[in-house]
Amino acid sequence: MAFEIQLRPCVAGDAEALALIGSATFVETYADVLPGPHIIAHCRKAHSQAQYSAWLADPAYQIWLAELQPNGSPVGFMVVGPPDLPMETTDADLEIKRIYLLSKFQGKGSGRRMVEAAAAHGASRKAARLLLGVYTRNHPAIAFYQRTSFGIVGSRTFNVGGHDYDDHIMGRLL
């Protein structure tokens, strides 16, 4: 059976699917970087249904779910909202807070479609720039963002389990 990945805007009832795919993709991406108990604690907070429900209820946020068709299984997602980064930003900036796709489904154009959906959303809100944070050792993700017109514009530390990890802040003009 042929499968296709459909990207759709989320609705209020999607919080459970977002929490599930958020945790799954975080574990898949960072299992070889972070200790297990730190991953579990991080996912319990950062990928909780309550977190996604709050974002879904906030008009400043837009969330998309990537679903495998025809069965509707969640395989990725993206969250765009106001920037919360340790650098100078303006009201004309938006941040891609989360963009994840299970590795089995990467390399088939869905990630690019997600970035373009974020850019179109930003343009519709008259945003000037998209920003995002990415772990400095996640070389495949950095290369992907560079191919989609992002460049490094700053840095931050990201704390998980009491340990700091270095992130690049990348930006793309709209």
Instruction: Check residue 3 and give its pLDDT.
Output: 80
Domains delineated in the chain? 4-130 (3.40.630.30)
Instruction: Check residue 1 and give its pLDDT.
Output: 57
Sign of the dihedral through C-alpha 68, 116, 129, 107 = positive
Instruction: Check residue 32 and give its pLDDT.
Output: 92
Phi first, then psi, for residue 136 (nearest 5°) are: -60, -20
Distances (CA, A) of 123 to 7, 17, 37, 93, 120: 18, 27, 40, 11, 5
Tens digit of each residue's pLDDT (9 = 90 or more) over 66-100: 999 999 999 999 999 999 999 999 999 999 999 99
Instruction: Check residue 126 and give its pLDDT.
Output: 97
Residue-by-residue pLDDT tens, the chain, 174 positions? 568 999 999 999 999 999 999 999 999 999 998 999 999 999 999 999 999 999 999 999 999 999 999 999 999 999 999 999 999 999 999 999 999 999 999 999 999 999 999 999 999 999 999 999 999 999 999 999 999 999 999 999 998 888 899 999 999 999
d(CA 93, CA 77): 20
Instruction: Check residue 162 and give its pLDDT.
Output: 86
